[in-house]
A = this chain, B = another copy of it.
Amino acid sequence: MKTRIRELRAKTGITQEELAQQVGVRRETIVFLEKGKYNPSLKLAYRVARTLGSTIEEVFIFEEEELA
């Protein structure tokens, strides 16, 4: 899974820490998400997308093979 979290954070000028607080998770969780190191719950994905002013499918990108 790839994400545009870092890119969107840069665009809105917020840090991992700030995103974490707004989303209600720990900063480490954001680090792992940004690096695609795990597969978030749908609710968390929604929160991140909304906080970044975007949608789930724009923020979290799966390759076809990953879904098969």
- A: which residues have CB within 8 A of B? 1, 39-43, 45-47, 50, 55-57, 60, 62, 66-67
Contacts and interface: CB of A to CB of B under 8 A. Distances in A.
Contacts of A43: 1, 39, 62, 66-67
22 contacts: A1-B42, A39-B41, A39-B42, A40-B41, A40-B42, A41-B41, A41-B42, A42-B42, A42-B45, A42-B56, A42-B60, A43-B62, A43-B66, A45-B45, A46-B62, A46-B67, A47-B67, A50-B67, A55-B57, A56-B56, A56-B57, A57-B57
Given A45-B45, A55-B57, 16 more contacts: A39-B41, A39-B42, A40-B41, A40-B42, A41-B41, A41-B42, A42-B42, A42-B56, A42-B60, A43-B66, A46-B62, A46-B67, A47-B67, A50-B67, A56-B56, A56-B57
